[in-house]
């Protein structure tokens, strides 16, 4: 009976993993490699967000104090290096761009990014950060291969450089992107920067995930010990039953 249960469990897990793999392949997106348990990556991603993104985008569900605790930063480090709006340490991350001005420039206010990864997955965000290319036909001069006709300018162009699109014959679909002008970072360095930023946004979408992963190990250990005790108890109760 136990062997049959374990076999069924392994089969179910295999089917779940298989479905996830098929969905990833069908999506055609490169794996982001984001890791919310890599604290150094989260710190680098936070630096990128607050230097390049917070001018337009908010993280209204993330508090500076909570971010400092989770990322291993002191209050002084956060307030001096990541807080450019004059917000208090216990307040949430809000963009310093007035909504009326944002609507005037972009047609609508830039979205809050607190739940962006949960809504579109880390792979999508990573591909989006790698998908910008120069397009003079667009009002802001940029377009995106992952999200066509995006109204957002490319804030990281100085780091990545300028990409141009190679279109498929007889259509407007982008076949590939080519780096026409290098940026401050090499392609490998920029991919890591995009991965760090994606990791930070994944953390922002669920800050409790860090604690959940930590407590999860203890829960699994408890269940393993409890299962062993339950098995020994069962053996003791049924030892005289034939």
Binding residues for heme c: 53, 56-57
The distance of Cα 234 from the centroid of its chain, to the nearest Å, equals 45
Beta bridge partners of 143: 133
Binding residue numbers: 53, 56-57
Quickly list DSSP for the chain.
-HHHHHHHHHHHHHHHHHHHHHHHHHHTPPP----TT-HHHHHHHHHHHHHHTTTT--EEEEEHHHHHHHHT--HHHHHHHT--S---TTSEE--SS-HHHHHHHHSSPPPP-TTHHHHH-HHHHHHHHT-EEE-TTSTTSEEESSSTT-----TTHHHHEEEEEEEPTTSS-EEEEEEEEE-SS-HHHHHHHHHHHHHHHHHHH-THHHHHHHHHHHHHHHHHHHHHHHHHHHHHHTTT--
> From CA 220, how far away is CA 225, in angstroms rounded?
9
> From CA 125, how far away is CA 200, in angstroms rounded?
11
């Amino acid at each position: 009976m136990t062997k049959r249960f374990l076999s069924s469990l392994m089969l179910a897990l295999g089917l779940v993993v298989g479905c996830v793999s098929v969905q990833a392949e069908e999506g055609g997106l490169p794996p982001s490699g984001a890791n919310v348990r890599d604290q150094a990556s989260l710190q680098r991603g936070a630096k990128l967000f607050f230097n390049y993104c917070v001018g337009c985008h908010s993280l209204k569900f993330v508090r500076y104090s909570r971010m400092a605790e989770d990322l291993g930063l002191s209050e002084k480090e956060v307030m001096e290096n990541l807080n450019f709006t004059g917000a208090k340490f216990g307040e949430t991350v809000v963009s310093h761009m007035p909504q009326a001005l944002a609507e005037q420039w972009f047609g609508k206010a830039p979205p809050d990014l607190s739940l962006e990864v949960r809504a579109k997955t880390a792979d999508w965000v990573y591909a989006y950060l790698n998908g910008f290319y120069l397009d003079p036909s667009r009002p802001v001069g940029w377009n995106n291969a992952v999200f066509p006709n995006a109204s957002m300018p490319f804030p990281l162009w100085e780091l990545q450089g300028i990409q141009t699109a190679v279109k498929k014959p007889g259509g407007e679909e982008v076949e590939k992107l080519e780096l026409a002008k290098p940026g401050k970072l090499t392609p490998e360095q920029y991919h890591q920067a995009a991965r760090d930023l994606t990791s930070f946004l994944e953390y922002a979408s669920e800050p409790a995930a860090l604690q959940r992963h930590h407590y999860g190990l203890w829960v699994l250990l408890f269940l393993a010990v409890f299962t062993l005790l339950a098995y020994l108890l069962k053996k003791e109760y049924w030892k005289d039953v034939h």
